[in-house]
Amino acid sequence: AASREALLDRRDNAFATVQEHYFREPPQIERGWQNHLFDTEGRSYLDMVNNVSILGHGHPRLAAAIEEQWRLLNTNSRFHYRAVVQFSERLAALLPGQLDTVFLVNSGTEAVDLALRLAWANTGRRDIVAVREAYHGWSDATDAVSTSVADNPNALDSRPSWVHTVAAPNAYRGQYRGPDAYRYGEDAVASINKLAEAGHPAAAFLSESFYGNAGGMALPDGYLRAVYAAVRRAGGLCIDDEVQVGYGRLGNHFWGFEQQGVVPDIVTVAKAMGNGHPLGAVITTAAIAEGYRSQGYFFSSAGGSPVSCVAGTVVLDVLRDEQLQENARLVGDHLRTRLLELANRHPIIGAVHGMGLYVGVELVRDRSTLEPAPAETAAICERMRELGVIMQPTSDRLCVLKIKPPLGITIADADFFADALDRVLTEGW
């Protein structure tokens, strides 16, 4: 413990403290294997929050492929090499036919930033309509369209004038609930129409295809269909941020947009696609990609490097060979059944959101008022860590347990988690 604390002091001296870490007393993690993390004091933790490492930690196929490619060649994507072509083809093949052109970058922020630039360049317009309570990145442009107060308490103040926001389509809490949630779509359509009528038609509508920051809640049925139609009527583009949602996590679908029955014009991907190796992408139509030319050439030194492309290709191979999307569906269903059973006995559980292995457990002080329980959620996460589970609060109210484990977790892992949560909720925290 002394060496862990000494290292924390050194971190505070050498590393920007404005970047917070998980937990008041963070364990010093030194190794990961499959679905577990191991600290320097010999403890293991089930990793329930990692939305990056979808294959699990230390995957031997990924490690071997990265090492081999590193020895062979790693350089930038202005050179002509096989890996960038192979990976781009593999990625494009996962999307509907017209989305056949790939840009490779290093992160989700870069992907969304580039998507916005493509929308601006193609439409000659500036205004963007985005959904409130979302997070899309930390660059100037992506921060401007991120209004999650969990990430930035001042997020709703001083938006640039080109940013227009619509209500987060939360069917559990907010203005429209349950069967009335379709009205969020009507309101968003009205906002989009109003902008067009005022002579400022949107360059693009930007959203996730599943409501990520709420802790993993499906969008109301038909939401994106209605909104995309309105945006296109006004001559704008539809950007879908799949950075958190895509890549099989939802179980039933590889991409979130499939669940909404729409096809976006521009899709952004990152996190899972490199399983922790920095990698992001924008996938769009050839015509929209071509529209970038008015901005000059596109180039990113490490985006689309041979090592990144090989990492991305192996992630797709392992997803397929280990049937991880199917596992996300099966284990996710089991986990939600267990959590709903806990909700019958523990009134603090207001709702169990999500699908596949994108699950949110919303904690409330009162089920009739839905008063959020952020202090309780934080304390429960701390207590779960003591019991060997790593998880974190999410949502703008910080009252949702965010459950996004590697996609290979087992039924036994899900039971270990549910048993630990049952114990914490029974014994107190």
At closest approach, how far in Å is the CB of 268 from ligand PMP? Answer: 7
Q: Do 212 and 245 contact (CB within 8 A), yes or no?
A: yes
Range list of H helices, 198-222: none
**Total length of the chain:** 429
Judged by beta carbon, residue 227 or residue 243, the one nearer ligand PMP is 243
Q: What are phi and psi of 393, to 5 degrees?
A: -75, 150
Judged by beta carbon, residue 188 or residue 373, the one nearer ligand PMP is 188
Judged by beta carbon, residue 137 or residue 216, the one nearer ligand PMP is 137
How many whole angstroms separate alpha carbon 40 and alpha carbon 60?
Answer: 22
The helix/strand count (H/E) of the chain reads as 13, 16
Judged by beta carbon, residue 397 or residue 402, the one nearer ligand PMP is 402
Judged by beta carbon, residue 237 or residue 282, the one nearer ligand PMP is 282
Judged by beta carbon, residue 270 or residue 314, the one nearer ligand PMP is 270
At closest approach, how far in Å is the CB of 354 from ligand PMP? Answer: 15
At closest approach, how far in Å is the CB of 194 from ligand PMP? Answer: 26
Contact residues for 239 (Cβ-Cβ < 8 A; gap 6+): 112, 115, 116, 119, 204, 205, 206, 207, 264, 265, 266, 267, 268
Cα 263 versus chain centre, distance: 19
Q: How far is CA 24 from CA 1, 99, 309, 392, 396, in A?
A: 14, 44, 37, 12, 20
CB atoms under 10 Å from CB of 12, counted, come to 10
CB closest to ligand PMP, residue no: 108
229, containing H or E segment: helix 223-233
Q: Which residue has the tokens 């309101």?
A: 187
At closest approach, how far in Å is the CB of 172 from ligand PMP? Answer: 19
At closest approach, how far in Å is the CB of 264 from ligand PMP? Answer: 14
Judged by beta carbon, residue 245 or residue 381, the one nearer ligand PMP is 245
At closest approach, how far in Å is the CB of 308 from ligand PMP? Answer: 13
Which value, in Å, is the radius of gyration of the alpha carbons in the chain? 21
Q: Strand, helix or coil at 236? A: coil
Judged by beta carbon, residue 350 or residue 405, the one nearer ligand PMP is 405
Interface residues toward ligand PMP, by CB under 6 A: 107-109, 112, 135-137, 208, 212, 241, 243-244, 270-271
Structure tokens at 176: 């429209």
At closest approach, how far in Å is the CB of 244 from ligand PMP? Answer: 4
How many whole angstroms separate alpha carbon 270 and alpha carbon 104?
Answer: 10
At closest approach, how far in Å is the CB of 336 from ligand PMP? Answer: 22
